[in-house]
Amino acid sequence: MWQTDVDLTGFAVEARDGKIGPVDQATWDEAFGYLVVNTGPSIFGKQVILPGGVVRRLDLDNETVFVDRTRDEILDAPAFDESRADDAGYLEELGAYYATGRHTDNY
């Protein structure tokens, strides 16, 4: 689990194959730390949630979070539902998306 005392809001998120968008919010919850990332303009983009376990490293000097997923895997993720952000079942569902599927063959 990654953790920092730095506010990551506004940091760029970099997938294995390119930029995703900025961090809108981050949490350091002991059970499930995550980032909420804005994937683009409001008409075409959406907010997605990335579990802390996909973070590879933080570059504090360049304000960038590097994650171990491709752009497509992130863009295909379920949209973030703020009304369910504290729901353990919802967070488990999101975690399952990143733990299963085609992206596990890319390591």
Distance CA 48, CA 15 (A): 13
Question: DSSP E strands: which ranges in the chain?
Answer: 12-15, 18-27, 34-38, 47-51, 55-59, 64-67
The CATH number linked to 44 is: 2.30.30
Question: Distance between the two ends of the chain, CA-based, in angstroms?
Answer: 19
Q: pLDDT averaged over consecutive 10-residue blocks of the chain (107 residues)? A: 76 95 84 84 78 89 95 89 86 80 40
Number of domains in the chain: 1
| Domain with 60 in it | 12-98
Q: Is residue 86 part of a domain?
A: yes
Q: Which among 2, 75, 89, 70 is positioned nearest to 37, based on CA atoms?
A: 75
pTM of the model: 0.81
